[in-house]
Amino acid sequence: MHPSRLLRVSVTLVLASASVTVTTSPAVAAEFGSFGTTPRLLGTSIVYVEEHVGERFDSALRSSIAFVDRYTGSDMRLGRCRTGYRCIRVVQSNATNGHGAWTSWTYGRKNSEIRLSATLARKNWYTRRSIIDHELGHANGARHNSRCTSRMWPDYRCRNKRLPARTFTTAERSALARW
């Protein structure tokens, strides 16, 4: 989750012979603009989720993986990253630009990294899971929702203080299904 309403995403584009790092501006509208039609690169639905987080996050992460898999059609598996498969590394880190969590990825989301902060670790289990759902959504192509009608709402809680509904919108499902 990015508790502020803005998100900066570091995107590393790995080209054939050049590596270009692009940092988008903190404008949500532009956040995923160039990625919406990126094709599935690897031809397999298996995605390895390499977990480097403690017990505090573990069961929420497992729940989030099962939840997001339903919409992506992916088969996320906990385990070490392997050549030829997409990989999502989940680490504990406070390098989250002031947010509770942070997600970045390489071209085509072949490799993503989700950072979960100490601040997030202090939240309750349902909040942790909500944020991990959100970040896994980003790692699989979902952008922010300007209304609090799905997990892609960019704040811990809706304005009514409740957690965002544990679902994805039609548009988000469409984006997730492309990954």
Q: Footprint of Zn ion on this chain (CB under 5 A)? A: 2, 7, 154
Q: Smallest gap, in angstroms, from Cβ of residue 41 to Zn ion?
A: 22
Distance in angstroms (rounded) separating the CA atoms of residues 116 and 45 = 25
By beta-carbon proximity to Zn ion, the closer residue of 29 and 42 is 29
By beta-carbon proximity to Zn ion, the closer residue of 25 and 44 is 25
Q: Smallest gap, in angstroms, from Cβ of residue 132 to Zn ion?
A: 12
Q: Smallest gap, in angstroms, from Cβ of residue 144 to Zn ion?
A: 6
Q: Which residue is nearest to Zn ion (CB)?
A: 2
Dig out the tokens for 3 from the structure.
């508790």
By beta-carbon proximity to Zn ion, the closer residue of 46 and 165 is 165
Report which residue type is found at 128: R
Q: Smallest gap, in angstroms, from Cβ of residue 35 to Zn ion?
A: 14
By beta-carbon proximity to Zn ion, the closer residue of 77 and 166 is 166
